[in-house]
Structures are given as C-alpha cells and as structure tokens.
Amino acid sequence: MLRPARIIAASLLAVAVAASGTAFAEDGAPVDVALPGATPSPTPSPVPVTPPTPAPTPTTDPTAPPVPPVPSGIPTVEPSAQPAPGPSSSGLVTVPRAAPEPRSAPGTAPVAPEPASDGVVPDVGQADAYLELSARRTQVEADIVARQAAVDASTAALVTLESDRAAAAARASVLRAASERAVDDVQDVARDIYQQGDAGLGAIATALTGGPDGLMDRLDNIRNVRRAATSVVVEVEQLKAAAAGAALQLAAADLRMEQATDRHTGLVGDLAEAKGELARIDDELAAIGSLPPQTAIGTDGCPLDNVPGTLRDGADVIGAAELCRSAVAQAATPQAALAIQWAFTHLGSTYACGGAGRMLPWRMDCSSFVSRAYAEGAGLGTAGSTWAPSTRNMVPWDGVPLDPHYAYVAPQALRAGDLVLYDTCPGGGCPYRHVVMYLGSPDGGQSFWMAHTNACGDVAKVERFWGFPTTGRPFLVARRVMALPDEAGARR
C-alpha cells in the first residue's frame, strides 16, 4: 500500500506527463519526443509507471551550486545507457539517438533550411516601429517583384513593336519607290505618244511618203502605245494607294511605339521609386536596430550597471553585476559562462515582435537570444550571422531534427547557462515554444533566476525562474548546450 506521499508523487507524475509532452521510459527517465501540435501519432496503451523516490539533496559537495526545487512529479532517475559527456559531477545525460547530420562550421549558414522563428505573434493592436516597417518592407518587396515583371513585359513589348515598325517602314519605303518608278513610266509613255503625233495629218503624211503599208504600221504603233499608257496609269494608281496605306500603317506603328515607350518610362520610374522606398526602409530599420542598451562592462565580462527595466521580480535589489558573477561561477561549462556574460550584456535588447529583425545586434526573440549567446559569446555553431534556430531544434517537434548541441539534462541537475523549455501553446498549432536561460541562485538557494525575452514591446530581462510547473507554463525539457567535436577551437 502506497503512503500518502507516494500517492501524491504518482499523481504529480501523471500530470507532468500529460501536460508537458515529455515521455518517460520504464525506468522513469525522460526521453526526447515530438510535441503535441504536429500530426499526432497513435497513442500506445498506458503502462503503469511507479514513480521513483525523489533523490535527496546532495550533501557530499558543500560547494556545489544550489538547484531549484524539483516537484515530486519530476522523475529523478537518470538514464544510464550512455555515459554523460563532460564532468561526471555535472549530472548531464544524453538519450541515445541517431548520429546527427553534418553541420556547417560555426558562423556559417546551416545545411538545412532555417526553421521558423519563435517571434510571438503580437496581440491585436500590439506592434512596434520595427515590426510595422518590416511589414511595409515585405509589401514593398512584393511590389518590386510585380513592377519588375511589368518592366520586363514592357521591354519585350517594345522589342516586338520596334520589329513591327521596322517592317512597316520597310514596306512603305518599297511601295513609295515603286510608285515613283511607275510615275516615270507614265511620263515615258506620254512622251512616246507625243512623238507619234496625231493620227490625222501625221497619217496622211505617212501615206504620201510610205504608202498604205506605212500608214497601217503607224496606226498599229499608236494603238499599242495608248494601250501601254492605260496599263501604266492603272498601275500607278494602285501603287500610290498601296504606298498611302503603308504610310498610314507606319504612322500607326509610330504612335503605338510612342505610347509604349511612354508607358515603359513610367513603369521604370515606378520600379525605381519602389526600390528607393525599400532603401529608405532599410535605412530606418538599420537605425532602429542599431541602438544598444547603455551597458558598461567590467573586466570580468559582467555589466557594471543595471539597465533600467531589465531586472524584474526584485532582481534589481541583487543587481546585474552580482547576478552575472554568481551565474558565471555556477556555470555548467566554460562555454555556458561566456554565454551568460553575453546574455547579461544584452539585457535591454528589444524583443523581435513577430520574429522581425531577430538577427539584429540588439533585437531578438527567445530562441535567437539563447542560441546567439552561445554562438556570439562562446563561439559555438548554435547560430550564424544571418540565421538562428527556433525552439523546434531544441525540443524538437514538427519533423525538425534535434540540434546535437542541445543535450538532455535532468531538472535536478540544472546548472547556470542551461536552457529550459516551456510549452506556451498546449493546444498545439503554434510555430514556437518558449526557452529561457537558467541563472542559478545567487543567495544559496533562497531565490532562483533566469534570463529571457518573450513579449512584443518588451526587452530581454532577468526574472525569477519559473521552475518546473505542470500547469500555466508546462515544463517540456531542460537542455545543456555542448560543444561538438569539430568545435574544439570554441572559446573557453
């Protein structure tokens, strides 16, 4: 028969499994699974699981940093199928999985397409200047594509019209020349008729000198010349009419060409105007994104001053310097210590509302904040200059593979610099979850803190650690960021 404490622990475990999306092996250890919200897989029949007894707080190492209390519903038995990387005292464990796909070198774009960002969709009426400008920029980019297509089509039409006009001009020239030659022929015939003279007195003179045969020959010549004159006159009229029609066609072609040229000039101007607007928007976006918080950095890499509005829930009483130094001292790895310093020196960075501008120096969403802390602060390949992963790479879900940098760590083994992910969309359908950087406790376990950014119109900040609740903000998994074998040169 279970004692009441064991019954409560079993109930909490069931709630944790249902709400967090975290599966547990038969030995009670969490394993990586896809989140709800993607295409659901058939659910196996439930297997009774006896929750393990929570491990007591270690007392063998009095210098070990405190860890946040773990509810009894969170299993404390860690898998032992694989040796944990790093120091054995870290509590780090990894779940066996297929070998990761090759990654790019740190600072370069990943081989796979970048997943969607974790920029939370703003509430109705909630936006900032950068988001509005970014949306306008997207519209202008689409407008440029449409205007460029119109210019290209207009250019092709001008080429066709120019070809048609050239053909019309050639035809008009040929007909005009033929008409002029026909007029010359008429003049030649008229001259012949004149030279033949009148069929009256001229014929009598021919009869007196040439006799009857000469007279008949002369009359035949006159008839032939007059028939030729009639034919030439008809041809001249036809050629003149054809030449006049060709001239009208050429004039029409010239008008179409003129109109098309004017339209083309207008389209080119519209395209140039849109490109100019895009350049102006980019300048404004760059100006907005280049305004860093005013943070003085000490020789230990931690901030000397508190950036107003960044230390919440009483953290300002402790101060950024003490919070940073304490977290660095409790860091899980040397890279975690550097990432913590980076995070503290970037407090006050604007939240990338809707994911817009999440790669700017002082603007980021939750996942680019933590991944860039390890990339830019510690030199790991968790992000590049133009890309950062989303929480899909850290949990993972929706068919996105787990980034091998993010190793599983048991909640009770959490250390400063570790990442904790929450299900901010239990109903599914969201392209993001939320990730925070755990900062440990600066006061021997009296308070626990985290750094994160999570709201449109807000900034990167320090707040009390949410812990591992199963309601409100369901806990998903904790991750420790590890250097990969090809990152031996990462900053330490």
Tell whether 248 and 375 lie within a shared domain: no
Q: Decide if 354 is inside a domain.
A: yes
pLDDT band for 74, please (50, 70, 90 cuts): very low
* Shared-domain flag, residues 412 and 470: yes
User: Beta strand 363-364 with 350-351: parallel, antiparallel or unpaired?
Assistant: parallel
Is 168 inside any structural domain? Answer: yes
Residues, the chain, total? 492
Contact 185, 193 (CB under 8 A): no
Predicted local distance difference test score (pLDDT) of residue 228: 66
228 plus 339 within the same structural domain: no
Q: Are residues 368 and 277 in the same domain?
A: no
Q: Does residue 75 sit in helix, strand or coil?
A: coil
73 belongs to a structural domain: yes
Which domain covers residue 33, as residue numbers? 1-44+60-108+296-492
Is 323 found in the same domain as 281? Answer: no
Nearest to 69 by CA among 482, 464, 479: 464
Q: Judge if 327 and 422 occupy the same domain.
A: yes
End-of-domain residue from the set 239, 262, 289 = 289
**pLDDT tier, 348 (very low <50, low <70, confident <90, very high otherwise):** very high
Residue 121 lies in a domain: no
Q: What is the pLDDT of residue 219?
A: 58
Q: Kindly state whether residues 335 and 407 are assigned to the same domain.
A: yes
- For residues 361 and 385, what is the distance between their CA atoms, to the nearest angstrom? 10
Q: Is the pLDDT of residue 124 over 70?
A: no
Domain count, the chain: 2
What residues does 31 pair with on adjacent strands? Answer: 23
Instruction: Let me know whether 270 and 389 are in one domain.
Output: no
Mean predicted lDDT score pLDDT of the chain: 76
Domain boundary among 265, 289, 313: 289
* Residues 351, 236 within the same domain: no
Q: Residue 404's pLDDT is what?
A: 95
Confidence band of 240 (pLDDT split at 50, 70, 90) = confident
Specify whether 17 is located in the same domain as 33.
yes
Contact call for residues 150 and 267 (beta carbons, < 8 A): yes
Name the domain boundary from 289, 312, 345.
289
- The three-state secondary structure class of 368 is helix
Query: Does residue 416 contact residue 331 with C-beta atoms inside 8 Å?
Result: yes
Q: What is the pLDDT averaged over residues 267-285?
A: 95
Tokens of 421: 């992910």
Mean pLDDT highest for which of 3-17, 123-137, 209-223, 396-410?
Answer: 396-410
Question: Which of 73-82, 267-276, 349-358 tops mean pLDDT?
Answer: 267-276
Residue 114 lies in a domain: no
264 and 219 in a common domain:
yes
Same domain, yes or no: 327 and 473: yes
pLDDT at site 255: 95
3-state helix, strand and coil shares in percent for the chain, rounded to the nearest 5: 45, 10, 45
Residue 423 lies in a domain: yes
- pLDDT of 49 > 80? The answer is no
Model confidence band, residue 397 (pLDDT cutoffs 50, 70, 90): confident
DSSP for 376-398, please give it. HHH--TT-BSS----GGGTTT-T
Q: Which helix (H) or strand (E) holds 457?
A: none
Q: For tokens 């806990």, name the residue.
A: 475
Residue 420 phi, psi dihedral angles, 5° rounding: -125, 130
Within 8 A by CB and 6+ apart from 309, the residues are: 348, 459, 461
462: how many CB neighbours lie within 10 A of its CB? 27
- In angstroms, the CA 438 to CA 414 distance is 8
Q: How confident is the model at residue 432 (pLDDT cuts 50, 70, 90)?
A: confident
> Are 403 and 421 within 8 A, CB to CB?
no
CATH code where residue 190 lies: 1.10.287
Residue 128, domain member (yes or no):
no
